[in-house]
Amino acid sequence: MEIRGADHTLLRQLQVKVGDRLERHVQENAGSAELPLTDADLEALKAELAFQVVDDYTRELAEDGHGSQSWEERQDLVKALKSRLTGAGSLEALLNDPNIEEIDINGWQNVFVDYTNGVRARVAPVFASNEELIETIQTLAAHEGLSGRAFDRANPHVNFRLRSARVQAVMAVSTAPVVAIRMHHRQMRYTLKDLVANGTIDEQLADFFAAAVRAKKNIIVGGETSSGKTVLLRALAAEIPPEERLITIERALELGLEDDQEGHPDIVPMEERLANAEGEGSVPMRELLMVSKRMRPDRVIVGEVLGDEILVMLNAMMQGNDGSLSTIHSNSSEGIVENICSYAVQAPERLPRPATLGMVANALDYLVFLKRFRGDGHQRRVVHSVRQVVSHDDDGLKTDEIFKPGPDGMAVRDAPVGIHWIDHLREAGYRDIGDGDPSRWV
């Protein structure tokens, strides 16, 4: 926590100086062969820069004739500055709790958390006022991710990655500042074997997914909020051979595939950049997708489709970036296509529905839908359905459900329905019902 009596105006000024030095450091090392900074390295760098900035400040005070600070005063100032830079006050305790997966703050007094067992509970406030809450989010938004993001009355909402968590905050357009934090504790290397073990998929479906990724089939993963889309996307990506060049495109860095240097040594993570205060400098996901096509990727992974970038992504899939992966919000497996069409309408091309359906049919191979079941103090996230895209006509997109919901809600192989591209999948190691036991996940 910040020291009592600390000059908040001074701390903000010093914090900006640290941020400037941190940005220069990142820019100077952007083209080096060094590995990206880990969370621990970044925290250590911020602490070092805090010492440097405070030393410069105390020296300037003395040179300007304002006297010198005592050792204790300098240490208190460094401690307060480090708290603003490397922590989130009392919020840290919640962020570091492995049993918490979501944090909702509706004004400083109202804090709710969702635990991994499905229980939602109200907890003690973690800020002393709405002003402190806003100030903390401003600090974190300005220094996390690839580019700083403003959070003020002119920019009343912000979305950014805080270590392995995703933060969405709103102010000025609500009666109190609101913060929603989705946790992704640093178990970034999810695998299909992990999902078999925790009951998200069975071995047959795991074998299918592994083969579909290796056969470079285009897959989009749909589901409601908190259904496990990002976790499944990471597990699918873990099946991509390490020699392939990947480009990930996200609104706020969240996937973290670049953290696995052994599994993904040749990876380019890109993050949407918002406009500055003058309304300039924005780089939307749509533009990043177009840029990515000129960067020779073997695959493009879009963290989440939420708008008109869907058409660029479908074009990329149709023009050589086979094996691409993405996620999309949806309430049902059938709803995935409807949401794709809704986003496509927002694009400048204004494609009619039949043309959009034609793109979907030519670009996507499989539609995966996840579902979360809650109740009685526990919850389950399962892959509920897998559909293959077959064709389209005037009536809409034609799909076959090759893995349908079983008695417990988990998708199981619907044996009578044949799998399109089965020869490709068999070449990649898949064994369908009747082909023999692959015993891959034992």
CATH of residue 300's domain is 3.40.50.300
Task: Look at residue 201 and tell me whether its pLDDT is greater than 90.
Answer: yes
Please tell me whether residues 224 and 291 are part of one structural domain.
yes
| Residues 74 and 92 reside in one and the same domain | no
The last residue of a domain, from among 139, 156, 186: 186
Neighbours of 254 (CB within 10 A): 23
Per-residue pLDDT tens over the stretch 326-340: 999 999 988 898 888
**Residue 53: domain span:** 1-86
Q: Evaluate if residue 181 carries a pLDDT over 80.
A: yes
Query: Domain for residue 439, yes or no?
Result: no
Whether 46 and 151 share a structural domain: no
Please give the average per-residue pLDDT across 189-204, as a whole number: 92
Confidence of residue 2 (pLDDT cuts 50, 70, 90): very low
User: In this structure, which amino acid lies at residue 182?
Assistant: R
Do residues 151 and 291 share a domain? no
**Mean pLDDT, residues 351-370:** 89
Residue 52 included in any domain = yes
Q: How many CA atoms lie within 13 A of 52 on its CB side?
A: 12
Confidence band of 218 (pLDDT split at 50, 70, 90) = very high
Q: Count CB atoms within 10 A of the CB of residue 13.
A: 12
CA dihedral 299, 194, 410, 386 (to 10 degrees): 10
- Evaluate if residue 76 carries a pLDDT over 90: no
Q: Which residues contact 10 (CB under 8 A, 6 or more apart)?
A: 77
Residues 176 and 254 in one domain: no
Same domain? 377 vs 321: yes
Q: Cα–Cα–Cα angle for 305, 309, 310, nearest 5°?
A: 65
Question: What domain count does the chain have?
Answer: 3
- Average pLDDT for 340-360: 83
pLDDT at 84: 65
Distances (CA, A) of 64 to 60, 61, 303: 6, 5, 51
pLDDT for the residue numbered 3: 38
Place of tokens 């996507």: 364
Q: 19 lies in a domain?
A: yes
Question: 145 and 266 share a domain?
Answer: no
One domain, residues 69 and 123: no
The chain-wide mean pLDDT, for the chain, equals 84
What percent of the chain lies above the pLDDT cut of 70? 88
Kindly indicate the confidence band of residue 1, based on its pLDDT and cuts at 50, 70 and 90.
very low
Q: Of 86, 102, 133, which residue sits at a domain end?
A: 86
Are residue 143 and residue 217 in the same domain, yes or no? no
Both 370 and 271 in one domain: the answer is yes
200 and 107 in a single domain? The answer is no
Residue range 102-122: mean pLDDT, rounded: 91
Tell me the percentage of the chain whose pLDDT exceeds 90: 33
**221-253 pLDDT, tens per residue?**
999 988 989 999 999 999 999 999 999 988 877
Higher-confidence residue of 38 and 115: namely: 115
Q: Is residue 231 part of a domain?
A: yes
Summarize pLDDT for 139-176 with one digit per residue, the tens: 788 766 556 678 888 889 888 878 778 889 999 899 99
pLDDT band at 264 (very low <50, low <70, confident <90, very high): very high
